[in-house]
Amino acid sequence: MGRLADELPFRDNSVDVFYSHHVVEHLPDSLLSFHIGEMFRCLKKGGVIRVGGPNAEAAAQKLIEGDRNWFGDFPEKRESIGGRFANFILCAGDHRTILTFSYIQEIASARGFVDAHRCAPVTETAYPNLIGKEVLSREYEDTPEAPHTLIFEARKP
C-alpha cells in the first residue's frame, strides 16, 4: 500500500502538527484508525492534527436537496445527481473510506485525541497558535455554506 500503511517515520512525541489534506480518504477504511494512531504516537503533548477530506455529510445533504450543481465533473463527467454523488464519494475507486465528522471523531477519540473541532476550510482553525494562515491559504473552498472539504482538528492531551 505504501508509506501510509506503515509506521510514520517520526520519533514518538516529536511532532507539533500533522496537516493531512485530501489524503486519508485514499486509505482503506481498515487502516484509518492505524494511521490516526500513528499521528497520535508521533505528536508532542499538546500537538494537533488537521485532517481534511471529501465531506460526505455535505454531499449527502446536496444529494437529498437535488443540487446536482454542487457536484463537479471530476474525475468523470456524470449527468445524474446519483452519478455525480458517486463520483464525489468514490472518485473512480480512488477513495477507500467515507469521511464524516462523527466517524473521524470516533476514531480519533479511541486513539486518545481530545477537543475535536469541525472547522471551515480556508478560514477557521481551533488552534491558531499551531495552524497559521499559511496552512489555511493552501486550502480551497467555493461553497462555504456547504463545504466540499470536511476539516477535522483535535489535540493530543
Please state which CATH number belongs to domain 14-55+92-155.
Answer: 3.40.50.150
pTM of the model: 0.94
For residues 126 and 128, what is the distance between their CA atoms, to the nearest angstrom? Answer: 6
CA–CA distance, 34 with 45 (Å, rounded to integer): 19
Contact by Cβ (8 Å): 99, 105: no
Q: How far apart are CA 93 and CA 25, in angstroms?
A: 11
Residues 40-58 have pLDDT tens digits of 999 999 999 999 999 999 9
Question: Where along the chain do its domains lie?
Answer: 14-55+92-155
What mean pLDDT do residues 105-109 have?
98
pLDDT tens, 74-83? 999 999 999 9
Distance (Å, rounded) from C-alpha 71 to C-alpha 90? 12
88 within 8 A of 59, measured Cβ to Cβ: yes
Q: Is the pLDDT of residue 99 over 60?
A: yes
